[in-house]
């Protein structure tokens, strides 16, 4: 995929002169290619996927063919050989059309691929990364019924066996679980040690004792499946330990920091898509003999939405560039998720208002953007958790303020 080879010599993550929204030629090619894919391949099925709560057959394979299921996977093992920023551009572009499709690419890349690149053994990388690049979905299994914002209050347990480990417990709110070929699972191997007993494991789909439960009937991002995942004396070999014993909490924290930038990109794309529909509709809808876009009130509404989106884009791109450059980005990631999720909800709401009564019915796209936007303030760290992170980071390093 040539458009992923952006600035291979100079480093595509370098922040260029001018706006943070300035992209290299290769990054623009990537962005335009994914936008065209979203418009031609995804858009015709958005309503059907929302109503049926599942992706159309073959969609994941088409995403993989475009290189989007293993963006940072090295090209020598079948991946696209791109950057984290490339993944962010792809998630943003897909989410303009459907946030559910943006989400499956986001989780695959910002959570799972990133985790493998940093903590996977050479054997694990060699075995799983090519499969992920080919379209095998990896599902991130951390949350539980009693373990949401308090992510380390896990009740799922792991015990050592003669040949490896046994996992027992239940996970909730697990995205892409029915489609997954692999689960990255967090369980406590030493409950007496508290969060320091949390350990990560690789559990392939089809492992005896692993069951995917009921699919949640969600408000938004309905095409992306969200399910309970049950582990009943689920035995895995020793080489399915991911990272070190007792270091799962570190993996979870650090991967979610990157994932928050991904959710920012998803919400940014959603807001951009909502704005485009609102602007187009305002120029077509006539009242009092002229398009409603000619009225100052509507113009101001669209201008405010566009300003919010530009500010959101600057935050997303800045956080992603910092990550690629190896600069600290925890504060920026938390700020990004907090602010951009607010922008998405606000812009989607304003989009409904521009559509008026038509914005409240499913014949038009506005109501879906509105439903999809709400989750941005909830998953991968609620808005309150982001504010806690921001405050903690700033108060321990006042120079940042």
Query: CB within 8 A of 297, min separation 6: which ones?
Result: none
Nearest CA-CA partner of 323 in 238, 262, 394:
262
DSSP code, position 174: E
Tokens coding 313: 């884009």
Q: Whole-angstrom Cα distance, residue 86 to residue 322?
A: 13
Query: What are the residues facing 241 on neighbouring strands?
Result: 201
Cβ-contact 139, 175 below 8 angstroms: yes
Tokens coding 56: 């159309």
The C-alpha angle 373, 374, 380, rounded to 5 degrees, equals 100
Alpha helices in 183-247 (DSSP H): none
Q: Whole-angstrom Cα distance, residue 323 to residue 105?
A: 18
Nearest CA-CA partner of 155 in 121, 102, 198:
198
User: How far from 88 is each of 69, 82, 213, 259, CA to CA, in Å?
Assistant: 12, 11, 30, 10
Cα 217 to its chain centre, rounded Å, is: 20
The half-sphere exposure of 115 on its side-chain side, counting CA atoms within 13 A, is 34
Q: How many other CB atoms are there within 10 angstroms of residue 361's CB atom?
A: 10
Cα 248 to its chain centre, rounded Å, is: 20
Backbone angles phi, psi at 239, to 5 degrees: -75, 5
Positions marked active-site: 380
């Amino acid at each position: 995929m040539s458009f992923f080879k952006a600035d291979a010599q100079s480093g595509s993550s370098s922040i260029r002169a001018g706006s943070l929204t300035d992209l290299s030629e290769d990054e623009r090619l990537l962005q335009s290619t994914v936008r065209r894919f979203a418009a031609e391949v995804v858009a015709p099925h958005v309503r059907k996927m929302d109503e049926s709560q599942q992706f159309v057959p073959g969609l994941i394979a088409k995403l993989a063919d475009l290189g989007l299921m293993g963006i940072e996977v090295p090209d020598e093992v079948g991946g696209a050989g791109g950057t984290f920023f490339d993944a962010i551009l792809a998630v943003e572009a897909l989410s303009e059309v459907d946030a559910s499709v943006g989400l499956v690419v986001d989780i695959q890349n910002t959570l799972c691929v990133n985790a493998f690149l940093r903590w996977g053994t050479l054997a694990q990388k060699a075995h799983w990364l090519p499969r992920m690049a080919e379209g095998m979905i990896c599902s991130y299994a951390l949350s539980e019924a009693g373990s949401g914002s308090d992510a380390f209050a896990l009740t799922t347990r792991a015990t050592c066996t003669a040949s490896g480990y046994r996992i027992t417990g239940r996970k909730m709110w697990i995205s892409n679980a029915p489609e997954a070929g692999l689960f990255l699972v967090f369980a406590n191997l030493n409950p007496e040690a508290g969060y320091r007993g949390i350990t990560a494991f690789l559990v392939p789909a089809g492992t005896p004792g692993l069951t995917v439960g009921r699919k949640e009937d969600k408000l938004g991002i309905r095409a992306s499946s969200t399910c309970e995942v049950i582990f009943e004396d689920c035995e895995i070999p020793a080489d399915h330990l991911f990272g070190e014993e007792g270091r799962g909490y570190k993996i979870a924290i650090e991967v979610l920091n990157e994932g928050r930038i991904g959710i920012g990109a998803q919400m940014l794309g959603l807001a951009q898509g909502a704005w485009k529909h609102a602007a187009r509709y305002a120029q077509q809808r006539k009242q009092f003999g002229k398009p409603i876009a000619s009225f100052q009130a509507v113009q101001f509404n669209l201008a405010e939405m566009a300003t919010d989106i530009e500010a959101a884009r600057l935050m997303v791109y800045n956080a992603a560039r910092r990550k690629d450059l190896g600069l600290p980005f925890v504060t920026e990631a938390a700020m990004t998720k907090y602010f951009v999720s607010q922008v998405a909800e606000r812009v989607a709401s304003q989009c409904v208002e521009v559509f008026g009564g038509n914005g409240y019915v499913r014949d038009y796209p506005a109501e879906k953007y509105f439903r999809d936007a709400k989750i941005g303030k909830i998953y991968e760290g609620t808005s309150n958790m982001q504010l806690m992170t921001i405050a903690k980071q700033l108060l321990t390093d006042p120079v940042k303020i």
